[in-house]
Amino acid sequence: MSTCKNNKNSVFTLLFREPGKALGLYNALTGSEIPASAPIEDVTLEDALYKDLENSLAFIVDGRLVILIENQSTVHANLPMLLLVYISYVYEKHLGKEAIYRTKLIKIPRPEVYVLYSGRADYPESKILRFSDSFDASDEPDECDGKRPGGFVEMSVNVLNVNPGFNDSIMRKCSDLDGYSKLVGKVRDFQDSGQRVDAAIASAIDYCLAHGILEEFLGKHSSEITECFSKSSI
């Protein structure tokens, strides 16, 4: 189980690193019904390449490479570009450095990327960011149809707002995500009421325990949760 001692993990990764919980979250996000018995390979990069990708999980299940990222800051437009680099390292970890030099075609799991936004700034319920949005607008139109060429490389990032009051249908399908959203929301509420960060975290944990929210998780990991939240910008 991951901890926060290197400030590389978050409450999100601590909660969802368990394969069953990660799969439950993925099923809720996508409407899939992959059974809990499905084999899952954890390919998370322990040392994230960029700050915005530190709180990430990566796993392979049912022929899919799933990237889950929790973001408590601003979702910036260059995220698809960062993720192209990130995913290339994940594939290298999964296949090995020499795999791409083989002459036989290598079958790889299809990548799917989900960013769960839990920041304070206003953000829509859902949004798709595309790598092609970064392409230089000065490209000449295609001679055949007059349209600007889109290129052959694309990366789509599904961004979902998981703050309280957003994406209720997903929250109903995943009690862990709903509980996480409420926990983060209560920490902020207590901070906004004037409590210092450590006191706000303790009050939020007490509130959630009293209301049956993430009881088992909070009971086991309260000290790690406090450490994680203390090191992040909530």
Given this model, what pLDDT does residue 142 score?
56
The secondary structure of the chain, three-state, reads CCCCCCCCCCHHHHHHCCHHHHHHHHHHHHCCCCCCCCCCEECCCCCCCCHHHCCEEEEEECCEEEEEEEECCCCCCCHHHHHHHHHHHHHHHHHCCCHHHCCCCCCCCEEEEEEEECCCCCCCCEEEEEHHHHCCCCCCCCCCCCCCCCCCCCCEEEEEECCCCCCHHHHHHCHHHHHHHHHHHHHHHHHHCCCCHHHHHHHHHHHHHHCCCCHHHHHHHHHHHHHHHHCCCC
Given this model, what pLDDT does residue 52 score?
67
Position with higher pLDDT, 32 vs 147: 32
The answer to whether 109 touches 60, Cβ cutoff 8 Å, is: yes
pTM of the predicted structure, to 2 decimals: 0.86
193 lies in some domain: no
Tell me how many domains the chain contains.
Answer: 1
80 lies in some domain: yes
Indicate the burial class of 207 (C-beta count within 10 angstroms; 0-12, 13-18, 19 or more): middle
111 lies in some domain: yes
What tokens does 137 get?
Answer: 């607008």
Residue 50 neighbours by CB under 8 Å, 6+ apart: 82, 86
133 lies in some domain: yes
213 lies in some domain: no
88 lies in some domain: yes
What tokens does 181 get?
Answer: 């959203």
Furthest-apart CA pair in the chain: how many Å? 66
Per-residue pLDDT of 177-225, as tens digits, reads: 999 999 999 999 999 999 999 999 999 999 999 999 999 999 999 899 9
How far is residue 84's CA from residue 117's CA, in Å, rounded to a whole number?
19
The mean of the pLDDT values for the chain is 87
Q: What mean pLDDT comes out for the span 108-117?
A: 96
- At residue 8 the predicted structure's pLDDT band, cuts being 50, 70 and 90, is very low
Given this model, what pLDDT does residue 5 score?
43
- Least confident range from 4-8, 120-124, 130-134, 160-164: namely 4-8
Closest CA to 218 of 163, 174, 191, 179: 179
Per-residue pLDDT of 44-66, as tens digits, reads: 987 766 666 778 899 999 999 99
204 lies in some domain: no
The answer to whether 214 touches 206, Cβ cutoff 8 Å, is: no
Domain span holding position 123: 11-138+145-170
164 lies in some domain: yes
Percent of the chain with pLDDT over 70: 87
What tokens does 153 get?
Answer: 């490389």
